[in-house]
Structure 1
Amino acid sequence: MARAAEIDIVSVSKVYGRTTAVDNISLKIPSGSYCCLLGPSGCGKSSTLRMIAGHESISTGDIRLGPVVVTDLPPAKRGTAMMFQSYALFPHLDLVDNVAFSLKMRGVAKPERRAKALDMLKLMHMEAYADRRPAQLSGGQQQRVALARALITGPEALLLDEPLSALDPFLKVRMRAELKKLQASLGITFVHVTHSQEEAMALADLIVVMNDGRIEQAAAPRTVFERPSTGFVARFMGDHNVVSGRVTAAENGRVTVQVPGRGSFAALGAPREIGSAADIGIRIDHVRLGAGEEPHLGFSGTVANIEYRGGSVKLSVSGAGLDDFTAILRDRDFYAQPIAVGELVALHWDLADTLVLGRLDS
């Protein structure tokens, strides 16, 4: 197997006519890491992956794989391999010939390429199915064959375009674990496109959150979860309430923001100009029932919706100028004093569970 390589994306843009799909992004993906490009549909993550692979041209900027600038190299010369969302297996070939196909295109002799293909199928625990056709396999088995085919060339980086999207929920969880184990055992760089926050959190060493062709945040999963850098990241990851307003006070590492004409809320953060627009984030799982003692760290509102989630209960509350404020409560706390939709409740939290969020346009 080839060595792993660092991927360096330098000021890369992709423009289709008047549409900018990827807008001047720069990113270093460490050698041997598992990187997930995460974001909603149309954010530029698949275009970025395809530019790394060489399946899309780069409008401006460069991409390096290790020390080599691969910007103008064809896919076969880059040292990468790509696994497509559809798996793209050949229905008329058995598994050995499917896996060996790229070696056949390189002129490798039949006995050698078939032997290597069998080795790859063994790595994927699929050798018992070697003489079957793709249609005779389950979705998870087809995925393993597609992985074997991508890895047989010994790439320095494996690129995966939403590889779990076609699988049922139970199989997705199992295949997540297998992908993580495979990446750790091979030690090569994986770059994985997904729109699933849960998938990215489970797999990645590095999560890159994209929006509208730009990178909003690139960090370790725990950092993205606990300290989202922008309001978009906080909303997309779903772990923080985002409150938007104008700064009314800023001192001693504490910023107070007023929602237009309504409540005021405090958060930890660097000083901001009085009157400037600001977003603050409040951890949804650290919100508690009852009135708090500190000002600007709670409010009273009306329960708009209740969702039972097994070990927890999700409350949606409206009040103090906030239309949809979320609190995740432990089920035993909720059922100790059950609440109904339409009731008035008080909520509070600690200052440590807040932060002032950045803005890309600021």
Structure 2
Amino acid sequence: MSKAAEIDIVSVSKIYGSTTAVHEISLKIPAGTYCCLLGPSGCGKTSTLRMIAGHESISTGDIRLGNSVITDLPPARRGTAMMFQSYALFPHLDLVDNVAFSLKMKGVEKDERRAKAMDMLRLMQLEAYATRRPAQLSGGQQQRVALARALITDPEALLLDEPLSALDPFLKIRMRAELKKLQTSLGITFVHVTHSQEEAMALADIIVIMNDGRIEQAAHPRVVFEKPATAFVAKFMGDHNVISGRVTKSEGDELMISVPAGGDFLAIGAEAAGLTDTADIAVRTDHVRVAPAAEKGLGFTGSVSNVEYRGSSVKLTVNGAGVEDFTAILSDKDFFANPVKVGDAIPLSWEREDALVLGRLKH
């Protein structure tokens, strides 16, 4: 396998007519990392991937792979390989010829390309199926053929467009483990588009969260989980409650916000400096307790609107103090030691370090 290469996206935009799909994004993906582009439909993640691959032209900006500017190169000369969502296998060819197809297009001699294709099938544990056609394989096997076909060109970066979306939930989890193992053993850069938070958290060294053609945050999964950069990230990842209000007090890295017709809430964070008008704060859902607050701004009393049993945990939804659909994730042990039901009024609270001031994107 060839060495991995860093991907450097420099002020790249994609404009279709009067619509800007990607707004001047800049991103460095270190060599040999597993990077997931994550976000809702229409956020620009697939356009970004297709621009790296060369299947979509770049309106402004540049993309570098290693030391080369690849902005204007055709896909076959970029040192990248793309695996499509539909797998796009040839139904009339056996697995060896499917995998060897790109080498055939490059004029590689038959014996050599078939030998290399067999090596790739061996890597994917599919050598026993070499003479079969795609229709005789399961979804997971077809996916491994598509991977083998993409990797046979020795790419410096493999680009994957929602590769797991067609698989059933159990197979998804198994293929996730296989993709991670494959990326680690090959050591090349993987860029993977997904709209599944769980998939991105499980796979990525770097998660790039996109919204409306912009990057909201690019960081290690743990950083995204523990310190979401913006209200969008906090809501999209689903691990934090977001409370928005008017700043009533701001001192150093600490501020108090007041929610319209509701309570006052305290939060800390470097983003607090300079916020005088409105602010968003995030509270970790799994750090909320059913107990009165120890100090002002670290809790409220509300009415339970939903109780969802999840096995090892129980999800409570609570409304009150001007805050709607506030989520608390309790362990099953804590919940059943003191169960509550819909309609009950309960106090919720959290620790000082569990309420963060969120940043805002500068447009």
* Residue 14 in structure 1 maps to residue 14 in structure 2: yes
Q: What does residue 253 of structure 1 align with?
A: 253
CA shift digits 1:318-351 (9 cap, x unpaired): 0000111000001111111111101111100001
Aligned to 2:120: 120
What is the identity, as a one-letter code, of the residue corresponding to 2:120?
M
Q: Is the 8 A contact 2:250 2:276 kept in 1?
A: no
Any residues of structure 2 matched to 1:22-41 within 5 Å, and which? 22-41=22-41
Q: Which residue does the alignment assign to 1:209?
A: 209
TM-score in terms of structure 2 length: 0.98
The equivalent residue for 1:232 is 232
Shift of 1:273: 4.7
Rounded to whole Å, the distance in 1 between the matches of 2:325 and 2:224 is 22
Q: Work out whether residues 234 and 240 of structure 2, in 8 Å CA contact, stay in contact via their aligned partners in 1.
A: yes
Q: Deviations over 1:39-91 (max 9, x none)?
A: 00000000000000000000000000001000000000000000000000000
Indicate whether 1:221 and 2:217 are aligned. no
State the match for 2:69 in structure 1. 69
Over residues 208-252 of structure 1, what are the superposed CA-to-partner deviations in whole Å (9 max), with x where a residue is unaligned? 000000000000000000000000000000111000011101114
Which whole-Å CA distance do the structure 1 matches of 2:42 and 2:265 have between them? 33
The 2-side partners of 1:27 and 1:182 are apart by 24
The amino acid that maps onto 1:94 is D
CA distance in 1, matches of 2:275, 2:95: 65
Whether the aligned pair in 2 keeps the contact of 1:216 and 1:360 (CA below 8 Å) is yes
Counterpart amino acid of residue 201 in structure 1: M
1:302 is the counterpart of 2:308: no
Distance 2:351 2:237 in 1: 21
Q: How does 1:103-142 map to 2 (within 5 A)?
A: 103-142=103-142
Q: Percentage identity across aligned positions?
A: 75
Greater shift after overlay, 259-268 or 65-74? 259-268
Shift of 1:274: 6.5
Aligned to 2:193: 193
Offset of 1:261 from its aligned partner?
2.5
What are the superposed Cα offsets for residues 77-119 of structure 1, whole Å, 9 maximum, x if unpaired?
Answer: 0000000000000000000000000000000111110000000
Aligned mates of 1:307, 1:151 — CA distance in 2: 44
Whichever residue aligns with residue 151 of structure 2, its letter is L
Displacement of 1:292 in angstroms is 1.7
Q: State the AA in 1 paired with 2:331.
A: R
Kindly provide the amino acid, as one letter, of the partner of residue 295 in structure 2: E
Question: Aligned letter for 2:313?
Answer: S
Equivalents in 2 of 1:262, 1:343: separation in Å?
Answer: 19
The letter of the residue matching 2:299 is G
**1:335 matched residue in structure 2:** 336
Superimposed CA distance per residue, residues 3-39 of structure 1 (whole angstroms, 9 cap, x where no aligned partner)? 1000000000000111111000000000000000000
The letter of the residue matching 1:256 is M
Name the residue aligned to 1:269. Answer: 269
In the other structure, the counterpart of 1:60 is 60
- Pairwise CA RMSD of aligned residues? 0.9
Is residue 246–residue 257 contact of structure 2 (8 Å, CA) maintained in 1?
yes
1:108-151 Cα deviation digits (max 9, x unpaired): 11111000000000000000000000000000000000000000
* Distance in 2 separating the partners of 1:225 and 1:105: 44
CA offset at residue 272 of structure 1?
A: 4.2
- Paired residue secondary structure (1:278): strand
Equivalent-residue separation in structure 1 for 2:90 and 2:310 (angstroms):
42
CA distance in 2, matches of 1:133, 1:14: 38
**Distance (Å, rounded) in 2 between the aligned partners of 1:269 and 1:220:** 19
Q: By how many angstroms is 1:260 displaced?
A: 1.2
Q: Where do 5+ consecutive residues of structure 1 fail to align?
A: none
Kept after mapping to 2: 8 A contact 1:7/1:29: yes
CA contact (8 A) 2:252 2:273 kept: no
